[in-house]
Amino acid sequence: AQKVTQAQTEISVVEKEDVTLDCVYETRDTTYYLFWYKQPPSGELVFLIRRNSFDEQNEISGRYSWNFQKSTSSFNFTITASQVVDSAVYFCALSESRGANSKLTFGKGITLSVRP
Amino acid sequence: NAGVTQTPKFQVLKTGQSMTLQCAQDMNHEYMSWYRQDPGMGLRLIHYSVGAGITDQGEVPNGYNVSRSTTEDFPLRLLSAAPSQTSVYFCASRPGQANSPLHFGNGTRLTVT
């Protein structure tokens, strides 16, 4: 069975600090997909990124970057120069490749607070 | 674009009452699902559907029923509400491919007293 572990539950930083959110996953499949979602205080769930298991390239999008390492089954998310608007709950999720029947399994989430 | 629409946004029920949470999507997505979010538990899958007429159980299906009579709609029924079902419920949809991200509704906050 697939599993996602987000060991950090709450992180508090001061604005402009860099912060890394950890995600470790378990799966028996060789093809799978990893996702990060953001849930701001308003409550909606916002898709941030998807990574395929066969693509280990890291990705950068503005202040956000993601480090995917199959060797350690990790898909970590770094926010550079954090801002108050980054305060949210962040979820890592895993989908195994079952075609239409693929289910998305979420970690328990990390609450990030960025203080001014 | 409406995306995924959930109603109601808030609901209070008494123990034993029944109700239906509505979910509709206008993106012609084959896959729809219901999750519940509880503090410290992340999002857990209740039921899902890969197309009209097809439903299946997720991780925490007990106490909930679903049906999928059309591609657009995927209602979630609570047959006899219990305090343990107090939660925030999210409906989500995606195209049929497993690598497609889920599109979420804005959630329904349900309190059972």
Residues of B in contact with A54 (CB under 8 A): none
Q: How many CB pairs under 8 A join A and B?
A: 59
* Phi-psi domain of B2 (left: phi exceeds 0; alpha: psi -120 through 50; beta: other): alpha
Output the pLDDT for position A56: 83
Beta bridge partners of A13: A114
Angstroms from A85 CA to nearest CA on chain B? 19
Task: Return the closest-CA partner of residue A22 out of A70, A65, A68, A75.
Answer: A75
Which whole number is the average pLDDT over A80-96? 97
Spatial separation of the C-alpha atoms in residues A55 and B73, rounded to whole Å: 35
Output the pLDDT for position B52: 94
pLDDT in tens, A20-30: 999 999 999 98
Q: For residue A98, is pLDDT > 90?
A: no
Angstroms from B72 CA to nearest CA on chain A? 16
Q: Quick check: A23 and A4 in contact, CB under 8 A? A: yes
Output the pLDDT for position B99: 86
pLDDT in tens, B85-113: 999 999 999 998 888 999 999 999 999 99
